[in-house]
């Protein structure tokens, strides 16, 4: 296994040889295709294997490599596998032609006008930066890919200390380069689900044995009472939304996602919705007394000053687990929009005025400048809905159980039923409401996310049927 993969255009082979000769002198293990892979070998399979097993991906940027189909395919594989990217500029280029995967990174310049030795020092420093996380990332990616190629057999899942270590590493390094990949997140999430399921089976067996052997009823009553109290505290206040005809969707959707449902009227039975977004303190109760797992990033979650702020960095599965624990469920996007538009189908919860800082914690309509982050769930009272629901717009995007609308006739029954068997982390679901980092143009705009996505501006609101 080579530590470094070097991608280059054959028209830049002289520069590549000079650079890799120095890597070899420094005893840095690298993989580069000098002569091309023999015809008897699956060419792309060898490329894919080398990229998957590397820690770092060096892309030599030149006018030729930018246009090279092979270089683009190698870059796509590196991005898919979450490799740490180091862009090396070998000659003058047109900056607007640089692949978007590289355009936001810091370049290391090796043009004729640049100081070669100074640039080399920067490159070697970049290669060695945070190497321990790069190694962990690579090992976890290889295991996740083995699991995927093994038809996601449970025998490949992580357990015990390996699982705890993987969860901790993904949480600590969530915002580092290389970022955790989608397959890594799904692999760790499903490993945790399997582990929790086995733990519940084991715990149930032990509890039964204790009852049979000792007959100590008090030992069983106390946890039940403690969890019952915790659920009542975590459940929060619910607002009744009466039955009726609901205005849903928008015509001529021109948002960035472009996935809003066409404007229509949909009859809805009565339901209840959480008055506020789920807070860090409420979610902590489920972690302590229920079967919730901690968010993948814990800075705000553990911050004593932000316990009344919305919980973030939770997957759809974690959101559903919380709602079920307190005896509720995730809302559908039709229910969510009915609550946000009120009984009269208004443009916004507060009426038809454009969103401003008076009503929402969300970037202004005429700018992409983010706000300072999440706010307490009871903030922005002027933006509450007619029924009194807070922060339906802004603060955080909210998970719904609805699968992403993909065109054609809208089917409001196309929702995840909340069961483990039906959950697929790679399916796209609708999140609603915008957040502190991303504005929306209208209430019906949704933001598609896969079920294992986590973000610092995406949280939970629960609801329930009227029984």
Per-position pLDDT tens, the chain of length 467:
578 999 999 899 999 999 999 999 988 889 888 755 555 557 778 888 889 888 889 999 999 999 999 999 999 998 888 888 899 999 988 888 888 888 777 889 999 899 999 999 888 888 876 666 777 787 888 888 888 888 888 888 888 888 887 777 777 666 666 778 888 888 888 888 888 887 777 666 666 665 556 545 444 544 666 788 889 889 999 999 999 999 999 988 777 666 788 899 999 999 999 999 999 999 999 999 998 999 988 889 999 999 999 999 999 999 999 999 999 999 999 999 999 999 999 999 999 999 999 999 999 877 778 899 999 999 999 999 999 999 999 999 999 999 988 888 889 999 999 998 898 888 999 999 999 998 998 999 988 889 989 999 999 999 999 97
CB 257 within 8 A of CB 445: yes
Q: Is 153 exposed, middle or buried, given 0-12, 13-18 or 19+ CB atoms closer than 10 A?
A: exposed
Beta bridge pairs of residue 58: 6, 86
Exposure string of 199-234, with b = 16+ CB inside 10 Å and e = fewer, is: eeeeeeeeeeeeeeeeeeeeeeeeeeeebeebbeeb
Q: ω before 279 within 30° of 0 (cis)?
A: no
At 448 the three-state DSSP class reads: strand
d(CA 403, CA 412): 9
Tokens of 416: 């995840």
Shortest CA distance to 336 belongs to which of 447, 450, 455? 447
CB 423 within 8 A of CB 401: no
Question: How would you write 213-275 as a 3-class SS string?
Answer: HHCCHHHHHHHHHHHHHHHHHHHCCEEEECCEEEEECCCCCCCCCCCCCCCEEEEECCEEEEC
Say yes or no: domain 4-129 is CATH 3.30.565.10.
no
CATH number of 228-465: 3.90.1580.10
- The torsion region of residue 104 among left (phi > 0), alpha (psi -120 to 50) and beta comes to alpha
352's CB contacts (< 8 A; 6+ apart) are: 346
CB 188 within 8 A of CB 162: no
Predicted local distance difference test score (pLDDT) of residue 206: 64
């Amino acid at each position: 296994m080579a530590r470094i993969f070097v991608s280059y255009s054959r028209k830049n082979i002289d520069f590549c040889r000079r650079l890799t000769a120095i890597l070899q002198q420094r005893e840095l293990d690298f993989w580069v295709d000098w002569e091309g892979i023999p015809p008897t070998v699956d060419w792309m399979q060898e490329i894919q294997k080398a990229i998957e097993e590397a820690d770092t991906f060096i892309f030599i940027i030149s006018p030729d490599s930018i246009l090279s189909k092979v270089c683009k395919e190698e870059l796509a594989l590196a991005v898919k596998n979450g490799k740490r990217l180091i862009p090396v500029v070998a000659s003058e280029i047109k900056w607007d032609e640089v692949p978007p995967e590289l355009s936001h990174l810091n370049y290391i310049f090796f043009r004729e006008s640049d100081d070669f030795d100074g640039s080399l020092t920067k490159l070697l420093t970049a290669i060695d930066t945070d190497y321990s996380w790069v190694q962990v990332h690579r090992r976890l990616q290889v295991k996740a890919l083995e699991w995927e190629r093994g038809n996601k057999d449970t025998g490949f899942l992580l357990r015990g200390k390996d699982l705890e270590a993987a969860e901790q590493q993904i949480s600590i390094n969530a915002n580092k380069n290389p970022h955790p990949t989608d397959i890594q997140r799904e692999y760790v999430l499903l490993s945790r689900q399997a582990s929790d399921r086995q733990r519940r089976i084991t715990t149930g067996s032990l509890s039964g044995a204790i009852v049979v052997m000792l007959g100590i009823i008090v030992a069983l009553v106390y946890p039940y009472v403690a969890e019952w109290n915790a659920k009542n505290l975590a459940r929060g206040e619910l607002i009744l939304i009466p039955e009726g005809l609901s205005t849903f969707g928008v015509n001529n959707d021109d948002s960035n996602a472009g996935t809003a449902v066409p404007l229509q009227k949909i009859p809805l039975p009565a339901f209840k919705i959480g008055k506020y977004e789920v807070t860090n303190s409420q979610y902590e109760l489920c972690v302590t007394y229920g079967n919730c797992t901690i968010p993948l990033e814990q800075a705000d979650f553990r911050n004593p000053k932000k316990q009344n702020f919305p919980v973030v960095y939770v997957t759809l599965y974690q959101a559903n687990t919380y709602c079920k624990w307190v005896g509720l469920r995730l809302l559908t996007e039709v229910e969510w929009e009915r609550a946000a538009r009120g009984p009269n189908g208004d443009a916004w919860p507060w009426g038809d005025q454009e969103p401003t800082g008076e009503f929402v914690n969300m970037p202004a309509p005429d700018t992409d400048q983010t706000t300072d982050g999440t706010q307490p769930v009871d903030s922005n009272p002027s933006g509450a809905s007619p029924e009194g629901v807070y922060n339906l717009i802004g603060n955080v995007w909210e998970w719904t159980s609805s699968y992403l609308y993909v065109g054609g006739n809208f089917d409001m029954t196309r929702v995840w039923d909340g069961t483990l068997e039906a959950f697929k982390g790679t399916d796209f679901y609708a999140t609603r409401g915008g957040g502190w980092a991303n504005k929306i143009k209208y209430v019906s705009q949704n933001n598609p996310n896969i079920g294992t996505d986590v973000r610092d501006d995406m949280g939970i609101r629960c609801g329930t049927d009227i029984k």
